[in-house]
């Protein structure tokens, strides 16, 4: 590596990208959601390996809602690993109908990790799901050849962990430290800042937008909003605490109406519906 992976530590330290819509659903006895967390240098690039599966077929097709988390994911169907996909940064929630019986597995990359590892412009992936073999054919081939139906989640996560570890070892990372300084500032302020004025890292606003589009898939302002949203989720609020503590003021919203509007954009439902 040309630069120490300590540059990435701020991401893992300050940012925990969670998917609460799934976490809530795991209370349903027919659906299992699990995460396995990486170790060593891999933990600087990957937030988790995840699994979403049914224990028994559901009575109706399941709608899988993904909230905005600032990350890029690789995912595939355990029943058919020959078909794998990559989903980029999403500026709003997305929903997929995935049937009555499923077993999906994935890798959730921390912000900026995917472009650093694979040299892919994150902007080209934003707000959509694409076939992985069209973006990273060798990675898609690895998944197809090494992931099998009889393997359990623990074995698969170790296989994927080793693959990412090898990718890290084979890369000579060369990046602009000013970008990571800006990223750290956004995390430290929980996304509550004026990006044009407060991200004073030596990059012009135009340069900053360009570099954020490449590494994150969106502008600093848009990414900051997602960080702020994730900060709210990490606080694990309830309807009562939102009313009593006015958390939305603490994270930079000036009134409840704007808070509800942004929350619904990123989550898909209102705070009242999410935390009932």
Question: pLDDT, tens digit, for every residue of 179-227?
Answer: 988 998 899 888 888 877 778 788 888 999 999 999 999 999 999 999 9
For domain 177-274, give the CATH number.
1.10.10.60
In this prediction, residue 86 has a pLDDT band, given cuts at 50, 70 and 90, of very high
In order of 191, 233, 263, 266, the CA distances from 21 in angstroms are 21, 10, 13, 11
pLDDT of the residue at 146? 97
pLDDT of the residue at 20? 77
- The chain-wide mean pLDDT, for the chain, equals 88
Compute the average pLDDT of residues 112-122: 95
Report pLDDT digits (tens) over 218-236.
999 999 999 999 988 988 8
Q: What are the respective helix, strand and coil percentages of the chain, to the nearest 5? A: 45, 15, 35
Contact residues for 126 (Cβ-Cβ < 8 A; gap 6+): 88, 89, 90, 91, 217, 218
Say which residue, 276 or 4, is predicted with more confidence. 276
What percentage of the chain reaches a pLDDT higher than 70? 93
> Does 168 have pLDDT greater than 90?
yes
Report pLDDT digits (tens) over 236-245.
877 777 777 6
Burial call 234-264: b when 16+ CB within 10 Å, e when fewer: eeebeeeebeeeebbeebbbeeeeebbebbb
Say which residue, 246 or 85, is predicted with more confidence. 85
In this prediction, residue 26 has a pLDDT band, given cuts at 50, 70 and 90, of very low
Look at the block and give the residue holding tokens 């809602």: 65
Token couple for 105: 């597995």
pLDDT of the residue at 6? 65
* Beta carbons of 234 and 16 less than 8 angstroms apart: yes
Interatomic CA distance for residues 29 and 127, integer angstroms: 31
> Does 30 have pLDDT greater than 80?
yes
pLDDT of the residue at 214? 96
Interatomic CA distance for residues 178 and 114, integer angstroms: 18
Total residues found in the chain within this entry: 276
* Domain layout of the chain by residue ranges: 5-169, 177-274
How many DSSP H helices and E strands does the chain contain? 14, 8
Interatomic CA distance for residues 142 and 149, integer angstroms: 15
- pTM (predicted TM-score): 0.92
> Does 106 have pLDDT greater than 80?
yes
Lowest-confidence pick of 12-26, 49-63, 143-157, 258-272? 12-26
Q: How many Cα atoms occupy the beta-carbon half-sphere of 110 within 13 Å?
A: 26
Q: Is 138 exposed, middle or buried (0-12, 13-18, 19+ CB in 10 A)?
A: exposed
């Amino acid at each position: 590596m040309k630069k120490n992976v300590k540059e990435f530590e701020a991401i893992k330290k300050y940012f925990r990208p969670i998917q609460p819509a799934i976490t809530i659903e795991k209370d349903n006895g027919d659906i299992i959601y699990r995460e396995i967390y990486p170790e060593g240098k891999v933990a600087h690039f990957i937030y988790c390996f995840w699994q979403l599966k049914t224990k028994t077929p559901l009575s109706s097709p399941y709608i899988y809602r993904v909230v905005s988390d600032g990350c890029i994911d690789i995912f595939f169907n355990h029943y058919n690993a020959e078909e794998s996909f990559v989903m980029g940064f999403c500026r709003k929630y997305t929903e997929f109908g995935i049937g009555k019986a499923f077993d999906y597995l994935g890798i959730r990359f921390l912000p900026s990790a995917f472009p650093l590892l694979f040299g892919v412009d994150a902007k080209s992936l934003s707000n959509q799901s694409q076939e992985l073999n069209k973006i990273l054919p060798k990675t898609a081939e690895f998944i197809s050849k090494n992931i099998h139906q009889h393997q359990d989640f623990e074995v698969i996560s170790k296989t994927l962990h080793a693959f990412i570890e090898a990718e890290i070892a084979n890369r000579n990372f060369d990046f602009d430290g000013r970008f990571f300084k800006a990223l750290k500032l956004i995390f430290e302020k929980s996304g509550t800042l004026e990006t044009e004025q407060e991200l004073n890292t030596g990059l012009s606003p135009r340069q900053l937008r360009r570099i954020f589009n490449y590494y994150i898939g969106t502008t600093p302002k848009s990414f900051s909003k997602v960080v702020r949203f994730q900060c709210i989720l990490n606080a694990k609020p309830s309807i009562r605490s939102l009313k009593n503590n006015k958390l939305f003021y603490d994270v930079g919203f000036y009134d409840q109406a704007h808070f509800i509007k942004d929350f619904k954009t990123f989550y898909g439902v209102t705070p009242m519906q999410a935390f009932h």
